[in-house]
Amino acid sequence: MPERCCDPVPLNTVLIPYDDIRALRTALAGDSANTRTVVIPTSVPPLQLVRSGAHLFGRAFFFSEPGGLEFGGLGATWRTVASGPGRFSILEDEFAAASLPRGVRAAVGFSFSEDGPKSDLWEGFGAAEVCVPEVAISTSVGGGYELRVTVAGGQSADNILSVLSDLAEPGRLRPPEPGNHTVEARPSTLDWQREVDDAVDAIRSGVVHKVVLSRSVVVKSEVPVPPFDLVHHLGTGHRGCYIFGWQVGDAVFLGATPELLLAKRGRSIVSNPLAGSARRGVSDEADQGIGAELMASTKDRSEHAFVVDDIRDRLGAITDELVAPSEPSVLRTAAVQHLSTRIHGTLSDGVSLYDVAASIYPTAAVGGSPRQQAQVFIDKVERLDRGWYTGGIGWTDAGGDGTLALGLRCGLVRANEAHVFAGNGIVAESDAERELLETRLKLRPMLNLLSAT
């Protein structure tokens, strides 16, 4: 349950107008054995809600799609966790069995490993989770925003509405403060380059065709910045990306990822794998030249093909129709250009969002090819616990629609310490020094945000 604020909020600073609180209180009066939900229009953006109230709740969530839906939530009216090879089907079964009210949207997140994170760094983050917030604001169908309060069966709405009435507008956005920072690579850059060399040797000997290797950088700052302020800054600087933040206790997993794992609307499915990367240019002309080199790169085209072919084959088994362009395009983000292929399809009857996730994840963009051999190599060689990095994060609803993005260009922030992650797909033509430089490009947006001087 959230903590109740001690002092009343001045009238001119309340986040949720008192008229709205009264309307919610009337609609949710009394008790019920069933879970209840009430929706009203609001002018409060989802991230404002989360910035205002995340410190009062053990759990908070934000997710936005490029130019589309925004969804922010506080608390947990209902949640379930699952691990192991059947984690997605367990989530689906338990979400369906919960018989939640129509229209309820839930946050979804999961780790790279089907067994979940292994280190204390990721304490509280399970192998897979679905969570229905107590309070949520999301983009409404007709435009604008809607505020939803969901109360579990047998519970009174009084406490959550009291907390809502005490929420103040969040303070001014804080940029990363000038100050001293320490930055440490884990593993060391030399050790990571050795991992790349080992991977190239394994690929050339036929053990595996492609493998993705990850590394992290730890940033320690004198002054912590509220994590959901960082989420806002990522959103303004990376408008073409999926922006996310998932809070568990005092830790927030956050980032701005360009890669869509899957989006399901009815029977329509979209997946947008990215693989093969290059730097941005200093001008449009330079960008186009670098992009042309990326399109012509045998190494990058090979890396990209492994990912697309694998997803296309797996989706082919669960779709009635599937369209995948024969040539990739170039997708430009703030710091990196990627080879991109947008795959569209029509799912076969009865195929759920969870079925699709179980089929295509982990993609060759985050694991490797063949899948099992790449996973064995990663478990043997990689020196970090990825946790939710390269996992999935997004939303689903009771109707079976949803969006899941891959957890990339991201970090785990706790107080004044942040662990930032990046990785590359390694193929036979890979060079360890060039791969290291590529990870630095991918780390740059988060590092620039965290280590302002």
Specify the CATH number for the domain of residue 306. 3.60.120.10
Told to judge if 259 belongs to the known catalytic residues of this protein, a careful annotator would answer yes
Cβ neighbors of 17 (< 8 A, separation 6 or more) are none
Residues 109 and 75 in one domain: yes
Span 67-96, average pLDDT: 97
Span 214-236, average pLDDT: 92
Q: How many domains does the chain have?
A: 2
Residues 309 and 444 in one domain: yes
Structure tokens at 32: 């019920």
Can you give the pLDDT at residue 67? 86
Span 430-442, average pLDDT: 96
Radius of gyration of the chain from its Cα atoms, rounded to whole angstroms: 22
Residues 196 and 119 in one domain: no
Residues 86 and 155 in one domain: yes
Can you give the pLDDT at residue 294? 97
The helix (run of H) or strand (run of E) holding residue 440 is helix 432-450
Q: Is 372 within the bounds of a domain?
A: yes
Span 1-10, average pLDDT: 56
Q: What is the number of helices (H) and of strands (E) in the chain?
A: 11, 24
Q: Is 173 within the bounds of a domain?
A: no
Q: What are the start-end ranges of the E strands in 388-449?
A: 392-397, 402-406, 410-414, 417-426
Span 353-382, average pLDDT: 97
Task: Enumerate the H helices of 170-238 as residue ranges.
Answer: 189-204, 227-237
Can you give the pLDDT at residue 5? 52
Residues 83 and 198 in one domain: no
Confidence band (pLDDT; 50, 70, 90) for 134?
A: very high
| Cβ-contact 35, 212 below 8 angstroms | no
What are the tens digits of pLDDT across the range 96-122? 999 899 889 999 999 999 999 999 999
Can you give the pLDDT at residue 450? 87
Confidence band (pLDDT; 50, 70, 90) for 78?
A: very high
Can you give the pLDDT at residue 453? 43
Which range of residues forms the domain containing residue 197? 181-242+259-450
Q: Is 253 within the bounds of a domain?
A: no
Can you give the pLDDT at residue 141? 83
> Between vectors from CA 435 to CA 432 and to CA 436, what angle results, nearest 5°?
85
Residues 285 and 366 in one domain: yes
Can you give the pLDDT at residue 68? 87
Residues 104 and 229 in one domain: no
The percent helix, strand, coil of the chain (3-state, each to 5) is 30, 30, 35
Can you give the pLDDT at residue 452? 62
Phi, psi of 114 (to 5 degrees): -65, -20
Give the residue with greater pLDDT, 145 vs 335. Answer: 145
What are the tens digits of pLDDT across the range 342-351? 999 999 999 9
Residues 212 and 353 in one domain: yes
Nearest alpha carbon to residue 341 among 242, 249, 266, 272 = 272
Task: Enumerate the H helices of 272-419 as residue ranges.
Answer: 284-296, 298-316, 353-360, 371-381
Can you give the pLDDT at residue 181? 86
Span 363-367, average pLDDT: 97
Q: Which amino acid is at 150?
A: T
Residues 279 and 236 in one domain: yes
Q: Is 434 within the bounds of a domain?
A: yes
Residues 308 and 395 in one domain: yes
What are the tens digits of pLDDT across the range 22-47? 999 999 998 888 999 999 999 999 99
Q: Is 176 within the bounds of a domain?
A: no
Long-range contacts of the stretch 441-444 (C-beta < 8 A, 24+)? 441/277, 441/279, 441/335, 441/336, 442/277, 442/335, 442/336, 442/408, 442/409, 443/217, 444/335
Task: Enumerate the H helices of 227-341 as residue ranges.
Answer: 227-237, 284-296, 298-316
| Cβ-contact 425, 231 below 8 angstroms | no
Examine the pLDDT at 166 and tell me if it is beyond 70.
Answer: yes
Q: Is 172 within the bounds of a domain?
A: no
Q: Mean pLDDT score of the chain, rounded to an integer? A: 94
- For tokens 């073409």, the residue is 240
Confidence band (pLDDT; 50, 70, 90) for 429?
A: very high
Residue 361 CA to residue 449 CA, distance in Å, equals 30
Q: Is 433 within the bounds of a domain?
A: yes
Residues 136 and 230 in one domain: no
Examine the pLDDT at 3 and tell me if it is beyond 80.
Answer: no
Nearest alpha carbon to residue 366 among 419, 404, 325 = 404
Q: Is 82 within the bounds of a domain?
A: yes
- For tokens 């797996």, the residue is 314
Catalytic one of 65, 92, 195, 210: 210
Using the 3D structure, point to which of 108, 131, 166 is the last residue of a domain.
Answer: 166
What are the tens digits of pLDDT across the range 233-277? 999 999 899 999 999 999 999 999 999 999 999 999 999 999 999
Span 113-132, average pLDDT: 97
Told to judge if 65 belongs to the known catalytic residues of this protein, a careful annotator would answer no
| Cβ-contact 49, 74 below 8 angstroms | yes
Catalytic one of 114, 259, 303, 382: 259
Residues 373 and 399 in one domain: yes
